[in-house]
Amino acid sequence: KQEVTQIPAALSVPEGENLVLNCSFTDSAIYNLQWFRQDPGKGLTSLLLIQSSQREQTSGRLNASLDKSSGRSTLYIAASQPGDSATYLCAVRHEGSNSGYALNFGKGTSLLVTP
Amino acid sequence: NAGVTQTPKFQVLKTGQSMTLQCAQDMNHEYMSWYRQDPGMGLRLIHYSVGAGITDQGEVPNGYNVSRSTTEDFPLRLLSAAPSQTSVYFCASNIGPEAFFGQGTRLTVV
């Protein structure tokens, strides 16, 4: 079974810092990896989707990388802002899954950016 | 274009009651799915559908039923609610591999 781990579980940084969130998965046979943002009491917002053939994706201050062979992805947030405070979730679509586009989720990293 | 809409946002049920969580999307997506999110755990797949008339079980299907009579709607039914079903439920739809989620339904079973 595909296991997805996110480190750290929680992170507090002052505004302006660049930061890295980590995601690892046990089985490198994946179709794609998706990063989400979840605000308290809210749904999930898709941030970046990386296909297994890609190395990275960028959107604004966010950059996600994928090293499929080592089972790792990182989400880099540049010049963090208080509005970036949220929980960030990593999810992978496993090649061995027979559930279509079903995702295996990590437990998330809770980020607090202080002014 | 409202995306994925879930209703209700909050619900309290008594043990043994039944109810339906509604999910609708207006993006003409074929693939839809239901997840539950519990403290200290990642989201887990309950049921999914690859198109109207086709549904299948995910990782944690017991106690839940689904149907897909139209492309737009994918309701989740709790047959006889149990305290273990207290959770936040999310519906998602996909355009290809990219998943889009609703705002969630927070369900408490007492």
Q: Is the pLDDT of residue B1 over 90?
A: no
Residues 7-46 of A with CB under 8 A from B: 31-32, 34, 36, 41-46
Residue A105 contacts B where some CB pair is shorter than 8 Å: yes
Closest in A103, A104, A107 to B99, CB measured: A103
Q: Does A99 touch chain B (CB under 8 A)?
A: yes
Q: How many CA atoms lie within 13 A of A41 on its CB side?
A: 2
Contact A100 B97 (CB under 8 A): no
Confidence of residue A99 (pLDDT cuts 50, 70, 90): confident
Given a cut of 80, whether residue A98 has pLDDT beyond it is no
Q: B85 in helix, strand or coil?
A: helix
| Mutation target vs A (from B21, B34, B43; most A CBs, 10 A cutoff) | B43
Q: In the predicted model, what is the mean pLDDT of residues B29-34?
A: 95
Please give the mean pLDDT across all residues of chain B.
Answer: 95
Instruction: Give residue B2's pLDDT.
Output: 66
- B12 pLDDT tier (thresholds 50, 70, 90): very high
- The distance of B18 to chain A (nearest Cα, Å) reads 24
On the question of pLDDT at B94 being above 60, the answer is yes
**Residues A70, A77, A88: CA angle, nearest 5 degrees:** 70
Residue in A8, A9, A22 with CA at minimum distance from that of residue B39 = A9
Check residue B44 and give its pLDDT. 96
* Contact criterion met (CB < 8 Å) for A99 and B48: yes
Mutate which: B29, B55, B101, vs A, most A CBs within 10 A: B101
Confidence bin at B62 (pLDDT 50/70/90): very high
| CA Rg value for chain B | 13
Distance CA B32, CA B58 (A): 12
**A14-73: per-residue pLDDT in tens?**
999 999 999 999 998 899 999 999 999 889 999 999 999 999 999 999 999 999 999 999
| CB–CB contacts below 8 A, A to B | 67
A80 alpha-carbon distance from chain centroid: 16
Exposure b/e, B41-54, CB count within 10 A at least 16 = b: ebbbbbbbbbebee
